[in-house]
């Protein structure tokens, strides 16, 4: 019988490399007579734990770069924008905790694994949509996230049958509180740093990084810039981002207030209720507007330029805010001093005056918010609407708080501050959507108890412990928690399934710590370790003991960065002759280098390219040319 040897290649064990250039002689590859070569398949089985904690087994290329392997995996799973994901090796500490638990338990837990092993090696979905096209056929129902009927036929050559697709695109009933207690929960910043130590190098293959057949890796969203989320094509992607956010909150990988925790709980309860009910599965969307028509009407609006009358005013007039706010400056010895002032916000600066009348003269102080950290300081129930500003100074950060009187005032000022910190003014098109987003988030936090919420028949068997982190399970009795989650649920009870997941993702994105990946580093010239937070638009130096931010550097001010591979030191130069250098202690410096390069690569994406990813540019920015 003739065998197909096309997937076989030579693997050189000592040098940890594949010999893939088949037209080269062994001599040219540097192979000597004593070398031990293995003739083995390039595609092998791999177990992947997805963000929703389900495990899938599929065939993955062990010889191509991880960046390419992840792209193939995402094709099989029908997740667009594979560049946002990567593979993570679980750290020893997180596994140790599990092993200890296993010793105590009598019977071994058998994990339910979804086998996608008959998957075509690289073809992915036959009709798999390009990354973005105005005339793409919707693949999912935008309301319920079920596969649109016409697309089921597409899955014929892919292991993603309708049932498998629903495992990936639907959120399944939450685990028991016991399982939650057994999972690894980071307690300190150093623990959080351990979570990010295991990212694989995107520019090398799995085999070169010591991954063996049937090993288990985690598939996770590594870069927190979710580009172009579209319910019509992204049911699996939206669900997996939602799941990653949900676990980050349940395991306290990211901090949030009690008010926020209850909103997250209410949204989870709503999602699990809709996922279980059969109506969600059989939803069909009647008001389907033809894609092409929608695109044409969009084009019409852009060509006509909307209402042209006020365009000239807009160009010359930079919007500004002026209002009475209260200023709070924390004093080290005395209590906080709270004083009312007349505040004016213009461009990216905020100035304050004694009163409205003196606003024509010199301000008491003018603060440029570019490069500041902006943190919400809100408690809706207590009617507290504060904005915490962390202003970079030579030796760290100065704190000051602005107190607003009500939701609308807070939303307008908060949105202006957030944009200013990124160097944008209120004239930017994202200002009004930002105000709207803040207001809708506040509205969700503002709830009152009504009698019908308690009498909801479904709520009787609700397990509130499954929707909040352990801290709150210990703090409140189950009945109290259930009642508070149901109060919060009233505000979200009308949402559709996909809408609730997107709202959950948005609420997660508005947390102050969102998108920060932590590493323990030692700055050049410093005697002690610090934590470095890497985010999509900035780096933050954080005090390892207190968790307070010390300095922030924005990517937009970055001139160049490089790595000295001999001493494994990352050096970065910013505008105004600011330069920093550090060595990484909790992970390889290549990981941080790749993170920074990766975020810069992702910021170059735009919807109108014909959506082929520039893989070479990614490797140029992240490879570090060792």
pLDDT over threshold 50, residue 615: yes
For residue 285, pLDDT beyond 50: no
Q: How far apart are CA 459 and CA 262, in angstroms?
A: 15
Sheet containing strand 549-554, strands side by side: 549-554, 538-542, 530-534, 517-523, 578-584, 569-574, 558-564
pLDDT of residue 144: 61
pLDDT of residue 608: 62
Instruction: Determine contact, residues 458/260, Cβ cutoff 8 Å.
Output: no
pLDDT at 449 over 80: no
Question: Tens digits of per-residue pLDDT, 476-535?
Answer: 888 889 999 998 898 888 889 999 999 999 999 989 889 999 999 999 999 999 999 999
User: Does 110 have pLDDT greater than 50?
Assistant: no
**What is the pLDDT at residue 444?**
80
Burial of 583 (0-12, 13-18, 19+ CB in 10 A): middle
CA distance 237 to 83: 12
What's the residue count for the chain?
Answer: 626
Of 67-81, 88-102, 149-163, the one with minimum mean pLDDT is: 149-163
pLDDT of 294: 59
Span 295-337, pLDDT tens digits: 666 566 555 554 444 444 445 567 889 999 998 887 655 566 7
At 51 the pLDDT is 92
Is the separation of the CB atoms in 23 and 15 below 8 Å?
no
**Angstrom distance (rounded) from CA 17 to CA 14:** 8
More confident residue, 558 or 156: 558
Q: Is the pTM of this model over 0.85?
A: no
Distance CA 242, CA 220 (A): 12
Pairing mode, if any, of strands 37-41 and 55-61? unpaired
pLDDT in tens, 568-599: 999 999 888 889 999 999 999 999 999 999 99
Which residue(s) pair with 324 in the sheet? 342
Query: Over 90: is that where the pLDDT of 414 sits?
Result: yes
Which of 120, 119, 139 has the alpha carbon at shortest distance from 129? 139
How would residue 276 be classed by pLDDT, with cut points 50, 70 and 90? confident
With cut-offs at 50, 70 and 90, classify the pLDDT of residue 428: confident
Residue 391: per-residue pLDDT:
84
With a CB cutoff of 8 Å and minimum separation 6, the contacts of 318 are: 346, 347, 425, 426, 427
In the chain, what percentage of residues exceed pLDDT 70?
77
Average pLDDT (169-180) is 74
pLDDT of residue 112 exceeding 90 = no
587 DSSP 8-state letter: S
State the Cα–Cα distance between residues 213 and 43, nearest whole angstrom: 9
Q: Check residue 404 and give its pLDDT.
A: 92
Strand partners, 341: 325
65, 203 Cβ separation under 8 angstroms: yes
Q: Measuring CA to CA, how many Å separate 234 from each of 144, 426, 599?
A: 12, 31, 21
Q: Return the pLDDT at 283.
A: 41
pLDDT of residue 152: 41
| pLDDT for res 117 | 64
The greatest distance separating any two alpha carbons of the chain, rounded to the nearest whole angstrom, comes to 95
The whole-number pLDDT of residue 613 equals 78
The answer for residues whose C-beta is within 8 angstroms of residue 281's C-beta and 6 or more apart is 144, 146, 166
pLDDT tens per residue across span 116-145: 765 444 333 333 333 433 344 556 666 666
Alpha-helix residue ranges (DSSP H) falling in 170-287 = 177-182, 189-195, 235-250, 258-276, 278-281
pLDDT over 50 (residue 446): yes
Complete DSSP assignment for 110-156: PP-EEE-TT--TTT--TT---S--TTPPP-B-TTT-PBPGGGGGGGG
pLDDT beyond 50 at 106 = no
Q: What is the pLDDT of residue 89?
A: 92
Which is more confidently placed, 179 or 189? 189
Per-residue pLDDT at 120: 43
Residue 389 reports pLDDT greater than 70: yes
Average pLDDT, the chain: 81
Q: In terms of C-beta distances under 8 Å and separation of at least 24 residues, what long-range contacts does 382-390 make, across chains too? A: 385/409, 385/410, 386/328, 387/413, 387/414, 387/417, 389/417, 390/549, 390/552
17-57 residue pLDDT tens: 999 998 999 999 999 999 999 999 999 999 999 998 889 99
Q: Give phi and psi for 389, each to the nearest 5.
A: -105, 125
Q: What does the pLDDT average to over 404-426?
A: 91
Helical pair 497-509 and 235-250, crossing angle rounded to 10 deg:
50
CA distance 383 to 385: 6
């Amino acid at each position: 019988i003739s065998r197909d040897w096309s997937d076989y290649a030579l693997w050189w064990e000592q040098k940890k490399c594949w010999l893939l250039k088949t037209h080269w002689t062994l001599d040219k590859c540097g192979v000597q007579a004593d070398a031990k070569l293995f003739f083995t398949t390039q595609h092998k089985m791999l177990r992947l734990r997805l963000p929703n904690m389900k495990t899938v087994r599929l065939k993955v290329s062990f010889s191509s770069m991880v960046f390419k392997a992840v792209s193939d995996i995402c094709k099989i799973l029908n997740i667009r924008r594979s560049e946002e994901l990567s593979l993570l090796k679980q750290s020893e500490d997180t596994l140790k905790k599990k092993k200890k638990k296993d010793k105590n338990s009598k019977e071994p837990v058998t994990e339910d694994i979804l086998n996608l092993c008959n998957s075509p090696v690289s073809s992915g979905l036959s009709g798999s949509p390009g990354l973005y096209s105005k005339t793409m056929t919707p693949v999912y129902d935008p309301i319920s996230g079920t596969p649109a009927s016409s697309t089921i036929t597409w899955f014929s050559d892919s292991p993603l049958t309708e049932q498998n697709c629903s495992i990936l695109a639907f959120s399944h009933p939450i685990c028991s509180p016991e399982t939650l207690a057994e999972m690894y929960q980071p307690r300190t910043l150093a623990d959080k740093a351990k979570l990010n130590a295991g990212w694989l190098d995107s520019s090398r293959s799995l085999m070169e990084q010591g991954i063996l057949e049937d090993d288990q890796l985690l598939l996770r969203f590594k870069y927190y810039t979710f580009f172009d989320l579209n319910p019509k094509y992204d049911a699996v992607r939206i669900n997996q981002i939602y799941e990653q956010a949900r676990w980050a909150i349940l395991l306290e990988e990211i901090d949030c207030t009690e008010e926020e925790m209850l909103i997250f709980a209410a949204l989870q309860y709503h999602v699990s209720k809709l996922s279980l009910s059969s109506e969600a599965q059989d939803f069909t969307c009647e008001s389907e507007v033809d894609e092409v028509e929608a695109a044409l009407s969009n084009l019409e609006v852009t060509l006509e330029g909307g209402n042209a009358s006020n365009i000239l005013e807009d160009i010359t007039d930079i919007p500004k805010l002026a209002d009475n706010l209260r200023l709070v400056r924390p004093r080290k010895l005395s209590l906080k001093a709270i004083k009312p002032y007349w505040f004016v916000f213009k461009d990216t600066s905020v100035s304050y005056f004694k009163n409205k009348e003196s606003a024509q003269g010199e301000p008491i102080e003018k603060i440029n918010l570019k490069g500041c950290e902006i943190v919400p300081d809100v408690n809706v129930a207590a009617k507290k609407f504060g904005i915490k500003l962390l202003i970079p100074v030579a030796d760290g950060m100065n704190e000051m708080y602005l107190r607003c009187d009500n939701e609308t005032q807070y939303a307008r000022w908060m949105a202006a501050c957030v944009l200013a910190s990124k160097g944008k003014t209120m004239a930017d098109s994202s200002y009004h959507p930002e105000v709207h987003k803040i207001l809708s988030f506040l509205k969700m936090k503002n709830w009152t108890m009504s009698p019908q919420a308690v009498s909801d028949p479904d709520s009787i068997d609700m397990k509130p412990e499954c929707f909040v982190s352990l801290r709150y399970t210990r703090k409140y009795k189950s009945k109290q928690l259930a009642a508070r989650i149901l109060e919060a649920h009233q505000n979200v009870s009308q949402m559709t399934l996909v809408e609730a997941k997107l709202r959950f993702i948005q609420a997660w994105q508005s947390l102050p710590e969102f998108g920060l990946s932590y590493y323990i580093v030692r700055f050049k010239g410093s005697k002690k370790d610090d934590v470095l937070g890497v985010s999509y638009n900035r780096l933050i130096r954080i005090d390892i003991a207190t968790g307070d931010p010390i300095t922030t550097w924005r990517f937009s001010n970055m001139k160049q960065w490089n790595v000295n591979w001999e001493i494994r030191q990352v050096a970065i130069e910013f505008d105004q002759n600011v330069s920093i250098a550090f060595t990484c202690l909790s992970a390889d410096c290549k990981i941080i280098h790749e993170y920074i390069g990766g975020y810069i690569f992702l910021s170059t994406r735009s919807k109108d390219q014909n959506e082929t990813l520039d893989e070479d540019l990614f490797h140029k920015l992240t490879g570090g040319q060792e």
